[in-house]
Amino acid sequence: AQSVAQPEDQVNVAEGNPLTVKCTYSVSGNPYLFWYVQYPNRGLQFLLKYITGDNLVKGSYGFEAEFNKSQTSFHLKKPSALVSDSALYFCAVRPLGAAGNKLTFGGGTRVLVKP
């Protein structure tokens, strides 16, 4: 069975500083990895995904994530955070070849960007 861990419940960062949200995963075989963002009172929105290829994936709103197979990590990064990036971020995984789109989500990390 697959699992996702987001070790930090909350990340605080000052506006303009780099932002990192950590994610590690456990899955049999090769993973499909995703990041989603949830703004208050909204559904989740897709940010980016890793399927194959370049380990550095670029997504929406200036976010990127780096796949590290040896460390089984897929950390989300943004070079310069904005106050509007304050939200709840979810990492998700699906094993290659799994039936359906059964994504397993991490517990979420709340990001608070202070002006």
Partner 1 sequence: DTAVSQTPKYLVTQMGNDKSIKCEQNLGHDTMYWYKQDSKKFLKIMFSYNNKELIINETVPNRFSPKSPDKAHLNLHINSLELGDSAVYFCASSPSPGQGAGQTNEKLFFGSGTQLSVL
Give the binding site for partner 1 (CB under 8 A).
Answer: 32, 34, 36, 41-46, 49, 51-52, 88, 90, 94, 96-103, 105, 107-108
Nearest distance, CB of residue 100 and partner 1, angstroms: 5
- Look at residue 84 and give its three-state secondary structure: helix
Tokens describing residue 104: 């397993």
- Ramachandran angles phi, psi of 84, nearest 5°: -70, -5
Give the DSSP letter of residue 45. Answer: E
Q: What is the rounded CA–CA span in Å between residue 113 and residue 115?
A: 7
Q: How far is the CB of 25 from partner 1 (least distance, A)?
A: 14
Q: Which of residues 70 and 101 has its CB atom nearest to partner 1 in the complex?
A: 101
1/115 with CB nearer partner 1: 1
